[in-house]
Structure formats: structure tokens, C-alpha cells
Structure 1
Amino acid sequence: MTVPTPILSLAPVTLPAPERGDDLQVRISAPATGDQLPIIVFSHGFSQSMNSYAPLVDFWTASGFAVFQPTHLDSRTLNVTPADPRYPNIWRTRVEDLTRILDNLEVLEAAVPGLAGRLDHTRIAVAGHSWGAQTASTLLGAGVVGEADMTDPRIKAGVLFAIPGTGGADLSPFAAENFPFMSPTFEGLTAPALIVAGDKDDSPLSVRGPEWFTDAYHLSPAPKTLLTLFGAEHSLGGLSGYLVTETTDEDPARVALVRELSVNYLRSVLYPADAPLAVDNSPLGTVESKR
């Protein structure tokens, strides 16, 4: 029997953010032991919070990563409605939330008993699901049409789950009207990234169908890896939580594959001499890469 790895998790840890309207709340999770821990900063999907995505975060932490999860302003826990003057710029505030965490890593780690001095600040990855994947991708070099470059050189790799594709004519009328920031450009996404897409993820935000969620792979330069999950919808088997109502394609085996491959991928990038990426295909999905 495998003994679970003990982990530390503390929330909320609050970073002052007066210009944001609400201070930034962060959950920090890390293994109870070990030093030189690599870091993942994770951006949640629309309306989720720092308390979501336990299936991912628990596994990443048990695998030796320290994980930082902000609660963005669109979280249902904060009740920021479209009538709020901050709402049109929530997409930008999301990116600033991730940057704020990076700017305050020493403050955050000091807030968790036993964590200070145990992180490797040279090995930082960013990850996100859905809107969170678009948020994370901006730090990796993806752009938003008409906006300044927000690439952060501190980020060495990324994992982008169900990342939205290009805008313009590819958007549904609803998305074009309500989400004008959904106009990404991927030419500058030069950092290594794993893109995870479901071949049944037929979003109401796009007229193109599931292949829309592979744009970040096909339109960005190498190195990139694409994991396409067979039969997966937007939750990719249930990443956002255990037995949550928004999961339409619950599949523990699919979640297990995603978790294991994401850890293998990040280790292959952050520790290239020690952990080559396993790219064997599975009955649950297929992997392709460009180098």
C-alpha cells in the first residue's frame, strides 16, 4: 500500500491590493518535507476559486511541487457582477493576480509555517484551466490583440487545460458581444507548454467546435506538446473538483492521466537532465509534440 505524501495547505493568505478593490486571497499548498521545491502558480476557470481543483493540486503537491492558487475577481465567492466597474477589466486583473504572487513569493512562503526557504525560485511554472489557461498563457508569451506584451521571464513552463482559441470570426455571437478580450495571439507563446484539449469539448463560445481548443498548440512556435483526450468535454474528466456539478464527463482514469502527464511534462522542462517526458499514447488520449 502506498503511503500518501503529507502536505501543507493554508488559506486564505492575503496580499494587500487596494487598487484591485478586494485584497488578493491565495491558497498555498506544498509537501510537508523537502527543499528546493519547484513552483506552480495556478489560475482557476470562470467563477471558481482558490479552493477549487483539488484533484490537480493534491496530486501536484504530493509529487513535490508548491502550488499557489489565487481567487480571481470573477469567482462566485466574491460576487463581482457585470454592473461592477471593474468587470470589463477582470481579464487583465487576472494576469496581474499571477504577477502579484510572483512579486511576493517570499512574503507568501513565510506565511506558511515550515515553508520559508524551501522553494526553488528559479523553477516556476504557470498553469490554468479554461479562462485560467488564457490568463496563464499571457505570462508565457501569448498576447491579446491590441494589448501590451505581458510575458514574464520568471516563468519557465506552462500547462494549459482547455485554453480558448482565436477570436474574431471564430467566436459565437454571444462570446463576441460579452468577451471582447477573447482575441488571443499565439505567435509570441515561445515558452515550453503542454496544451490539454478534449475532443468532445464543443464550447458555446466558438463556432468551430472542439478543435478550437488546440489553437494554442498549432499556432504557437515550438517547443509545445498537445494531449488530446478522447471523449473529454470541458472539465476534462473532472479537474475542477471531486463530484462537482459542472463536471459533464466525469472519468477518474482520465483525470489520473492528465495529472501524471502534467507532472511528467513539468519535470521534463524544469529538470531536463533528470526526467525525460514520457509520451507513450494511451487508450484515453494521444500525445504529439513539436520541438
Structure 2
Amino acid sequence: MKRLTGLMACALLFGTAGDVAAQSDPAPAVAPVGDLTLTGPDGRSIPVFVWPAAEERAVILFSHGLGGAPAAYEEILGRWAGAGFTVIAPMHLDSRRHPEGGNVSGGRAFMARIGELTVARAMVKATHPGKPLIVAGHSFGSLMALIQAGAVSAVGPMGDPDVKAVVAISSAGDLPGLVTPDTWDGVSAPLLMVTGDADTVPGFVTDWTAHRSPFDRSPPGDRMLVIFEGGDHNLVAQGSEANRALLGSLSLDFMQAYGLQDDAAADRLRTFNPPPGVRIERR
């Protein structure tokens, strides 16, 4: 009953609207040309897009926003790959560019993502053995990243102990019936949470401070929160050039520090003095 209640809440909350990134993209569903195709547990094809690192040091499994697509994050994903982090980004069934999806939402979208990321993570481990695994995502995708890192939703635990760090950009908020009071207790991996004080989604996240929850309520230690003044829900793709550059450099330092045990990157994070309009919290 608890699992069913969570899925019903998810369906109600996400049945009528997608993330800002998806709403601003009027393109209809098209057949995606993925870099590779995986097969889900239900036999469905999963298009996967890859940003390969020339000199790979770690792998990032990235989950896009509800209704969005990996290509919308080309700037930051390309930057990560250029620094040695191969990016693996499934196109989820709810993507408006997915030939089999587009109108998929609610519990079906949630459970489809769980299956897609499980398959993609298994592929990463098989084809990139020994490489540190980092999970990242935007909005609904950040919830999926956090679940892989140990967050326990109303549908149960699905964490992977191999996750070395989490980068969560503009979370999906505290979804009633899906996110419970103890959801974030299981997130033990280092966490970088990114949001802005205009980061709202009408009808879903009316108070931007809801995005703080994974930072505030997960166990303390190796937690970093970045708040951009005026940053909205799509700050990762449409924020100012300076803020996008800062997000890119901070996220790289965080992944290098915790994913690669890079002492120099850890020192940069520890001594970072944010510019006007940016606030940093640590715990």
C-alpha cells in the first residue's frame, strides 16, 4: 500500500506538466539518434547518449529533467567530459523527444527511469571497470541521482554503494507521498546541491527553499549547497554565462575532490570565496 500511494502521488504531481527545460522546448518527439542502445527489463529500447572523455578518469551517470533530453545539457556535460569524466545519459521514456514516450508521466515515468538507470549503471560497471561512478541530474533527474546514492523514496531503497558523489541541480522538491520525512537519511555519498532563490515550478515547487531538503536533512559531512541569486529552475542551461561557468567549475572541483580523491580540488572547494550573488553553505 505504501508503494502504491507513492506512485499515485507521483502520478498526480507529474501528470500534467514537465520541467521548465521541457516546457521551453517546443520540438515534437523524434526518433533519437543515440550513441548506443540498451535493452530494458521489459524489452524496450533505451537510447543512451555519451560524452566520452579522451583521458577517462571517472564516469558520470546523468539523468535529465522530466520531459527533457540529454542534449539540453550539452554545455555542462561537454565540460565534464573535457575534464576526464565520461558522461552516460539515458534518454528517459518521458522525454518529449523519445519516439515511444513524450506523454508518459507519473508513476510510469518514475518506474521507467528506475529501470533505465539500473540498466545504464550495470553497463557502466561492465564497460568502464574500476572507474569511479558519480551520479548527477537536473530536477526530476536529481531525485533519480539521489535515489541511486541512497535516498529512500516511498517505493523503497534502490541505492548503489559504488556511488562516490552526487551532483543534484534544482531538485524535484519534496513530493508528497513520494519523498518521506526520512528519505534523505540514507544519502551518505558526498553531495553538491545547486539551486537559486527563484528556483520554483508553478504548481509543484512554490517555495525555492524546498530544494534545500537533501542538503539540510541528509547526514552531515561532505555537503555543499550553492545558491544563485535570481537563479531559476533552468539555471543550468539558461542562467547567466558567469553563473553557468561557475557551476561548471564548482561541480568539477567537487567531483575531482570526492570522486578522484584530488587534494588540490578539495583545497579549492574549502577556500572558495563566492562572488556577489552567490552563497555557499557547507555541513
**Number of paired residues?**
244
Letter in 2 for 1:105: V
Mapped contact 1:26–1:69 kept (Cα < 8 A): yes
- 3-state SS, counterpart of residue 199 of structure 1: strand
> For residue 159 of structure 2, what is the aligned residue in structure 1?
151
Mapped contact 2:186–2:218 kept (Cα < 8 A): yes
Letter in 1 for 2:245: A
Aligned equivalents of 1:280, 1:98: Cα separation in 2:
35
Mapped contact 1:91–1:181 kept (Cα < 8 A): no
Aligned equivalents of 2:71, 2:135: Cα separation in 1:
17
- 3-state SS, counterpart of residue 148 of structure 1: coil
> For residue 10 of structure 2, what is the aligned residue in structure 1?
none
Letter in 2 for 1:159: V
Using a 3 Å threshold, how does the CA distance of structure 1 residues 182 and 75 change in structure 2: closer, same or farther?
A: farther
Aligned equivalents of 2:78, 2:205: Cα separation in 1:
35
Aligned equivalents of 2:114, 2:203: Cα separation in 1:
21
- Is 1:283–2:283 an aligned residue pair? no
- 3-state SS, counterpart of residue 58 of structure 2: strand
- 3-state SS, counterpart of residue 34 of structure 2: strand
Letter in 2 for 1:221: P
> For residue 80 of structure 1, what is the aligned residue in structure 2?
101
Mapped contact 1:254–1:284 kept (Cα < 8 A): no
> For residue 29 of structure 2, what is the aligned residue in structure 1?
none
> For residue 146 of structure 2, what is the aligned residue in structure 1?
137
Aligned equivalents of 1:268, 1:199: Cα separation in 2:
27
- Partner residue of 1:23 out of 9, 27, 45: 45
- Partner residue of 2:124 out of 89, 105, 110: 105
The correspondence of residues 143-222 of structure 1 with structure 2, limited to 5 A, is 143-145=152-154, 147-168=155-176, 181=178, 185-206=183-204, 208-222=206-220
Aligned equivalents of 1:162, 1:46: Cα separation in 2:
12
> For residue 85 of structure 2, what is the aligned residue in structure 1?
65
Aligned equivalents of 2:244, 2:203: Cα separation in 1:
24
> For residue 268 of structure 1, what is the aligned residue in structure 2?
257
Aligned equivalents of 1:264, 1:98: Cα separation in 2:
25
Mapped contact 2:67–2:102 kept (Cα < 8 A): no
- Please list the CA deviations of residues 175-232 of structure 1 after superposition, one character each: whole Å capped at 9, or x if unmatched: xxxxx54557211112111000111112224465111111111111122110111110
**1:45 CA drift (Å):** 0.3
Letter in 2 for 1:15: L
Structure 2 unaligned regions, length at least 5: 1-32
Using a 3 Å threshold, how does the CA distance of structure 1 residues 18 and 220 change in structure 2: closer, same or farther?
A: closer
> For residue 5 of structure 2, what is the aligned residue in structure 1?
none
Using a 3 Å threshold, how does the CA distance of structure 1 residues 209 and 87 change in structure 2: closer, same or farther?
A: closer
- 3-state SS, counterpart of residue 52 of structure 2: strand
Letter in 1 for 2:108: N
> For residue 226 of structure 1, what is the aligned residue in structure 2?
225
TM-score (norm 1): 0.77
Mapped contact 1:39–1:121 kept (Cα < 8 A): no
Indicate the RMSD between aligned Cα atoms, in angstroms: 2.3
Mapped contact 2:256–2:262 kept (Cα < 8 A): no
> For residue 13 of structure 1, what is the aligned residue in structure 2?
36
> For residue 175 of structure 1, what is the aligned residue in structure 2?
none
TM-score (norm 2): 0.79
Aligned equivalents of 1:57, 1:273: Cα separation in 2:
20
Aligned equivalents of 1:132, 1:152: Cα separation in 2:
16
Aligned equivalents of 2:77, 2:152: Cα separation in 1:
27
- Please list the CA deviations of residues 60-88 of structure 1 after superposition, one character each: whole Å capped at 9, or x if unmatched: 01111100010001000125365x6x853
- Partner residue of 1:128 out of 113, 133, 137: 137
Quick check: which one's helix share is greater? 2
- Partner residue of 1:95 out of 114, 118, 126: 114
Of all paired residues, the percent bearing the same amino acid is 27
Structure 1 unaligned regions, length at least 5: 1-9, 110-118, 169-179, 241-246
- 3-state SS, counterpart of residue 212 of structure 1: helix
